[in-house]
Chains A and B, each alone.
Chain A
Amino acid sequence: MTLTEPTPSDARDATAATGERVGYSVCTICDIGCQLRSVARDGQVVQVLQHDSPALARNVCYKGTAAPHIHNHAERLRVPLKRVGERGEDRWEEISYEQAIDEITERLRAVVDTYGPEAFAVSTSGWNTQTTHGVDRRFMNLLGSPNWISGVSLCAGNTAAVNRLTHGWMPFADIANSSCIVLLGHNPRKHSWTPIFNQIEAARKQGAVSIVVDPRVSEQAEKATIHLQIRSGTDAALLFGWLRVILDEKLYDADFVDEWCVGFDDLRARVDEYPLDRVADICGVPAELIAEAARMYATADGACIPWTPITDMQLDSTSAIRLQGILRAITGNLDVVGGELLHGLNPNYRTEAELQLHDAISPEQRAKQLGYDTHPVFTYRTAEILRPHMERVWGQPWVDQVMGCHMASPPEVFRAMADGDPYPVKAFFTLGNNTLLSYANQHQIHRAMMNQDLIVAHEIFMTPTAMLADYVLPGDVFTERNHIADSWAWTSRLTLSEQVVTPSSELSSTFRFWSDLGRRFGFDEYFAWNSLEELLDHRLEPSGRTWQEFRDSVVSEAPTPRYRKYRSTGFATPSGKVELSSSILADLGFDPLPYVREKPQPTADHPYLVFSGVREDPFFQTGQRNIGVLRRRSPSPKFFVHPDDAARDGLVEGEWARLETDDGHVAAKVEFQSHMRRGHVRVPHGWWYPETRGRVDLAGSFVSSDAVLTSDAADLLDVEQGIPHFKGYPGRLVPCDAPAGMGRTTLEG
């Protein structure tokens, strides 16, 4: 059976007349999930409104209010496409959804029969697709493939996995009640990470101080109580400096350390390797200022280090993330008001991890997960070690957070796709994920995709990645589906998102796509839900409510908060305590203590430290460059450089320059930023030029994309996770002409 009817009764009611419908929405245009209201008229979303609760009304940005421009865009994919030219030629025929699923099934079966199930890999961004309700992994686990990757391996998901090593859960900062907020390169703004920005603003009004660690004088740095303008990529060293001060001056919570931490003496010895002068020298910041910040953090009445993407993308990412965990633990800020909360699971809602059926895939197949042997921290290998401890504390063995705790290693998946090393991967599905531009070493990813027998893209627009596919299936958007958002178990809050527009039958949700594929593979009993609403009923079953009942009564709800829960459960680590020295890392053969790795340094030929992977307000990741009302806010990519550096290199503001690294080169316009640290260049993430489709190869995806610059060479990966280094690698800037084929918006805007 195929799920050909994506129209639940409530949506039919909503659109039966031509009247207006207003529904609560959780926005998916970026990763924050702001709560909005969507207005639909005549079967189209026409407006996005601020929330009607004043508590949430400020949590919306101009990307969110652009939803009607995105969801109704003329170039939105509406019909399944099948490749008719050579791969990447971008020539298509329109086919039905049914035909597409039939042919995809046949071709995927051929790959699995020839190479084994591990030859099938999937890359997805849950931020963009909002949810699969776990049915993607469910299908893969039933099939026997462990090779699921995601952009969360570089952004929040890997933090979740690393946090579990230290204190068994990824906390969520209680900014609203905090007295001291530490932002490690993180720069929440009015139109980026908007709710976090609003929480920080509110906390400041109540007297909270903030410490910003950033090579730039960012918007947050301008408001900071202390700004530590470090060299890019030296966060781990800085945190060692803080630890040195906190231990030397006994500013830690000795009772908590005695009762709830293991490895303190080992940590103390490691910290002693980092005297403050050495730290100051590495970071390029005065020792006195480092000490002042450490004291401010350690003595605050409730302090937090909210999640940051910056330490997710560094050569010693695992250490930098662990050092944050260690700091929050020894200063007594774990699971306390104003500190960082270990929310746990919402007992009223089945988790995606539970639906994913991780026991259905055999241990032998799990062990084939790419990265399992080499960089295991966010793979099944670590999840297997943690399984009993997760069950003990959180009640489920395969708990996941932010999708990041059972992933394959992206560089290894692309290597297997490109070269068959260590085994061939020959079928690749990409959902809501412009894979080509979303990981390190874009050249390798391109080569990998050109070596596939089958590529399926599930997208709302034609992306460069989709152009390389055999089939492109049009996906739905948040105004077209019902959902209960659970923040991917980062918090325990449940939030309603209502369908206000009925999608056409040729569009599919990720749920429908995976369910139809599962049924064709004979997994009917595991894909028994005939609609998304039936699945929501299933997920809500522990609460005793149905989807309809939830929808009729709740906008957003969370269990009553409980604090210091570890006192009754312990921590979900092997010791049951906060592991300052990680027994899991030791078991995996790694250094159990954090450390600092020497970073790539500028050279005479490449005098800049490049930091890439930086978000711009109008866009999320590689998206929205085709949306007029957003693109015109930032018509072209820009390198930020200090004017003194620019003068030395003959760069002219507003003119184009080429940034060259050992791994590639990209072009962007130059923007002088006197607040940049000298010798640094900032590169925006994810640029391509949808308007050049048909005249520039793959719509200019190799012209300005930062993924061209970054390496996935073994010596430039974080050892434990295998993630690449985006925050400080050598490059040089040279003036150049505008790239060929650019349009008016880019050149003149």
Chain B
Amino acid sequence: MTTRTEREQRTKELANQAFGLLANRGLSKKTTGVDKFAKRMIARKVGDVPHDPDLDHPVEWDRPVD
């Protein structure tokens, strides 16, 4: 951390501030305008998240603990 210049600090800060604004729009309930754009940007960046079978619970386990 001793190597980052003031200019580099500011550049990183600005980039993350912009990302913060975008994230808020991406996590709103509005689906038009800038919010729609932000949601598309996030979807493009992250890609599809398929269902994770690890999250499913075997049916045979759903019985009382005895």
Contacts and interface: CB of A to CB of B under 8 A. Distances in A.
Q: Do the two chains bind? A: yes
Interface of A: 50, 53-58, 60-62, 64-66, 69, 74, 177, 190-191, 251-254, 298-303, 331-333, 336-339, 552-564, 625-629, 631-632, 690-691, 743-745
Contacts of B54: 62, 190-191
A242 to B, nearest CB: 14
A297 to B, nearest CB: 9
6 contacts: A54-B48, A55-B26, A60-B55, A299-B3, A556-B27, A745-B66
B4 A691 contact: no
A744 B48 CA distance: 42
Contacts of A65: 55-57
A57 B3 CA distance: 35
Given A50-B52, A301-B3, A555 B16 contact: no
Nearest to A632: B61
Given A69-B62, A629-B57, A690-B65, A554 B1 contact: no
B29 A54 contact: no
Interface in B34-62: 39, 42-43, 46-49, 51-52, 54-58, 61-62
Contacts of A55: 23, 26-27, 42, 46
Given A177-B16, A300-B1, A558-B23, A62 B57 contact: yes
Give me the 3 closest cross-chain CB pairs, A-B, nearest first.
Answer: A629-B57, A57-B49, A54-B46
A214 B12 CA distance: 32
Contacts of B64: 74, 628, 691
Interface of B: 1-4, 9, 12-13, 15-17, 20-21, 23-24, 26-30, 39, 42-43, 46-49, 51-52, 54-58, 61-66
Nearest to A55: B42
Contacts of A331: 1-2
B1 A339 contact: yes
B1 A744 contact: no
Contact of A629 (B15, B58, B66): B58
B24, B29, B55: most-surrounded residue (chain A CB, <10 A): B55
Contacts of B56: 62, 65
B55 A53 contact: no
Contacts of B46: 54-55, 57
A562 B17 CA distance: 7
A21 to B, nearest CB: 15
A54 B63 contact: no
Contact of B39 (A53, A74, A301, A745): A53
Nearest to A48: B55
A636 to B, nearest CB: 11
Nearest to A58: B49
Contact of A66 (B21, B26, B57): B57
A534 B18 CA distance: 34
B59 to A, nearest CB: 9
B14 to A, nearest CB: 10
A555 B66 contact: no
A31 to B, nearest CB: 19
Given A558-B24, A629-B62, 8 more contacts: A254-B2, A303-B1, A331-B1, A331-B2, A332-B2, A554-B29, A563-B16, A629-B58
Nearest to B43: A54
Contacts of A337: 9, 12-13, 15-16
A594 B66 CA distance: 49
B55 A552 contact: no
B27, B57, B63, B65: most-surrounded residue (chain A CB, <10 A): B65
A50 B51 CA distance: 8
Contacts of A561: 13, 16-17, 20
B28 A557 contact: yes
A301 B4 contact: yes
Contacts of B48: 54
Contact of B17 (A57, A554, A560, A743): A560
Contact of A69 (B2, B21, B24, B57): B57
A300 B49 CA distance: 31
A54 B49 contact: yes
Contacts of B57: 62, 65-66, 69, 629
A744 B2 contact: no
Contacts of A53: 26-27, 39, 42
Contacts of A562: 17
A61, A298, A303, A629: most-surrounded residue (chain B CB, <10 A): A629
Contact of A628 (B15, B29, B30, B63): B63
B1 A61 contact: no
A628 B39 CA distance: 38
B1 A333 contact: yes
Contacts of B15: 337
B2, B15, B55: most-surrounded residue (chain A CB, <10 A): B2
A637 to B, nearest CB: 14
Nearest to A180: B1
A495 to B, nearest CB: 9
A626 B28 contact: no
Contacts of A627: 65
A60 B53 CA distance: 12
Contacts of A625: 65
B27 A744 contact: no
Contacts of A300: 1
A363 B20 CA distance: 42
Contacts of B51: 50
A422 to B, nearest CB: 43
